[in-house]
A and B are shown apart, each in its own frame.
Chain A
Amino acid sequence: QKEVEQNSGPLSVPEGAIASLNCTYSDRGSQSFFWYRQYSGKSPELIMFIYSNGDKEDGRFTAQLNKASQYVSLLIRDSQPSDSATYLCARGSSGSARQLTFGSGTQLTVLP
């Protein structure tokens, strides 16, 4: 089982729809979770991070964390063509390793 697993997609949604990106992880000790966005040929940039169970909202983005189910998701409301990118889920390692483990990413395309 991969440490951080994402559906690779590609995921296509029409402009204005809600895009739902999902991620599962295997380390129950993980405390922090991140969503990075990566445009094609560019570097990753942070969208959101979440530590606590429940929802965290920032503008059109909502991160959801369920530690019991080892599941974290990112919802993008009112999707725009500019949201078309690969979204990387990452979890902070537990213990002393102090690292981030990334998933392979989900490619999102928002169709005009």
Chain B
Amino acid sequence: NAGVTQTPKFRILKIGQSMTLQCTQDMNHNYMYWYRQDPGMGLKLIYYSVGAGITDKGEVPNGYNVSRSTTEDFPLRLELAAPSQTSVYFCASSLQNIRDTEAFFGQGTRLTVV
């Protein structure tokens, strides 16, 4: 029962470096999402996908990119990391649109940019 798996769990980046946060799900969900959560705050949507080959921006997409080549995988790319991107990142998936059904979250990636 893997569900949604994220890697890595922790990462420290230097300003200007790039990295990819990996997310994979084994529930055959069409909908996948990337959220960030800053301390004491709720989740903010970065990007989402309604199926392979289809992605769209969320509330806070600047500084990030995504791709969805398969149903299972939805990687998030950070280019030119900035301290403002220090956050906890959650990947999620749902069978239907997240506003209509339960979303399943990965365990999160705690990213620090120094």
| A92–B42 touching, CB < 8 Å | no
Flag A84-108 by CB within 8 Å of B: 1 or 0 each. Answer: 0000101011000011101111000
Residues of A within 8 A of B106 (CB): 43
| 8 Å CB contact of B42 from A93, A98, A102 | A102
Residues of B within 8 A of A88 (CB): 42-43
Residues of B within 8 A of A100 (CB): 43, 45, 98-99, 103
The size class of the interface chain B forms with chain A is 20 to 34
Flag B100-113 by CB within 8 Å of A: 1 or 0 each. Answer: 10110111100000
| A98–B97 touching, CB < 8 Å | yes
| A104–B40 touching, CB < 8 Å | yes
| A8–B40 touching, CB < 8 Å | yes
Q: Is the interface of B mostly helix, strand, loop or mixed?
A: loop
> What separation, in Å, do the CA atoms of A8 and B102 have in the docked complex?
23
Residues of A within 8 A of B40 (CB): 8, 104-105
The number of chain A residues with a CB under 8 A from chain B is 21
Q: Known: A92-B99, A93-B99. Contact between A4 and B42, CB under 8 A?
A: yes
B90 CB, nearest partner CB in chain A, Å: 6
Kindly state whether residue A45 has any CB partner on chain B within 8 Å.
yes
Kindly state whether residue A71 has any CB partner on chain B within 8 Å.
no
Most buried by B among A4, A32, A45, A99: A99
Kindly state whether residue A54 has any CB partner on chain B within 8 Å.
no
| A46–B99 touching, CB < 8 Å | no
Kindly state whether residue B48 has any CB partner on chain A within 8 Å.
yes
Q: Known: A99-B48, A102-B43. Contact between A49 and B102, CB under 8 A?
A: yes
Kindly state whether residue B41 has any CB partner on chain A within 8 Å.
yes
Kindly state whether residue A60 has any CB partner on chain B within 8 Å.
no
A43 to B, closest residue via Cβ:
B105
| 8 Å CB contact of A43 from B41, B90, B99 | B90
| B98–A44 touching, CB < 8 Å | no
Residues of B within 8 A of A92 (CB): 98-100
> What separation, in Å, do the CA atoms of A91 and B97 have in the docked complex?
13
> What separation, in Å, do the CA atoms of A44 and B45 have in the docked complex?
14
